């Protein structure tokens, strides 16, 4: 049932967001040097690494680190990077990962391959068995503002409570957070 929901919602979203995605891609192309998409190595189900696309919001010379570990993250943003991040438009290319089965609409956000502390905590808690999500329980409960230990706690809670209705609730709450632009650090 979860995979069917993922496919149906993703196909509808791709149709709805096709024009906005083209416009964002052109905006990225014309406002900064480098590729339109940024592909990062992320860790998925059972700690398998996969490539995840985002619209590029950072300059091409940005170190490959989680944003919170950069000295001054704002100094690495492209001219439209902040807008894309706050609106979550940079996340739209991840619909591709949902379509091909590397991600789900709802699950723990995929960690960077170099976030070993987060990966170790998730593995110890058994969360690594879940397909990562475009959004998740931790995101609707604080997004960028949640410390790692609390995120893992939310991920464990999602593991225990996962259901069709819980996923629908998380999707609704995500939509609300995006519209209200809440809990985005950069």
> What digits encode the pLDDT tens for the residues 129-139?
999 999 999 99
d(CA 144, CA 151): 10
Other Cβ atoms closer than 10 A to 117 = 12
* Structural Rg of the chain based on CA atoms: 16
Long-range contacts of 172-176, Cβ-Cβ distance < 8 Å, separation of 24 or more: 173/140, 174/135, 174/139, 174/140
The string of pLDDT tens digits covering residues 35-59 is: 999 999 999 999 999 999 999 999 9
Q: Averaged over 63-85, what is the pLDDT? A: 85
- pTM for the whole structure: 0.86
pLDDT exceeds 80 at position 67: no
pLDDT exceeds 90 at position 31: yes
Nearest to 155 by CA among 181, 179, 127, 131: 127
Other Cβ atoms closer than 10 A to 31 = 11
pLDDT level of residue 116 (50, 70, 90 thresholds) = very high
DSSP-derived secondary structure letter, 34: S
Q: Averaged over 19-48, what is the pLDDT? A: 96
The 3-state DSSP class for residue 84 equals helix
Please name the residues in contact with 25: beta carbons below 8 A apart, sequence gap of 6 or more: 36, 37, 55
pLDDT exceeds 50 at position 33: yes
**Which pLDDT does position 30 carry in this prediction?**
96
**Which pLDDT does position 181 carry in this prediction?**
60
The string of pLDDT tens digits covering residues 167-186 is: 999 999 988 887 776 555 54
pLDDT exceeds 90 at position 78: yes
Lowest mean pLDDT among 17-31, 49-63, 85-99, 133-147: 133-147
Average pLDDT, the chain: 91
**Which pLDDT does position 64 carry in this prediction?**
78
Other Cβ atoms closer than 10 A to 169 = 15
Nearest to 133 by CA among 1, 24, 4, 2: 2
d(CA 123, CA 99): 25
């Amino acid at each position: 049932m979860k995979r069917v929901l993922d496919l149906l919602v993703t196909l509808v979203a791709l149709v709805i967001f096709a024009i906005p995605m083209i416009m964002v891609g052109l905006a990225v192309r014309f406002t900064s040097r480098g590729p339109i998409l940024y592909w990062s190595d992320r860790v998925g189900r059972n700690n398998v690494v996969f490539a995840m696309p985002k619209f590029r919001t950072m300059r091409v010379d940005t170190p490959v680190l989680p944003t919170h570990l950069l000295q001054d993250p704002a100094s690495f943003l492209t001219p439209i990077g902040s807008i894309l991040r706050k609106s979550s438009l940079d996340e739209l290319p991840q619909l591709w990962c949902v379509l091909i089965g590397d991600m789900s609409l709802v699950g723990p956000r995929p960690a960077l391959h170099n976030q070993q502390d987060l990966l170790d905590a998730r593995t110890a808690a058994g969360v690594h068995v879940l397909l990562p999500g475009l959004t998740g329980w931790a995101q609707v409960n604080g997004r960028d503002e949640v410390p790692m230990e609390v995120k893992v706690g939310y991920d464990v809670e999602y593991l225990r409570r996962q259901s069709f209705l819980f996923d629908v609730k998380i999707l609704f709450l995500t939509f609300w957070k995006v519209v209200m632009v809440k809990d985005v650090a950069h």
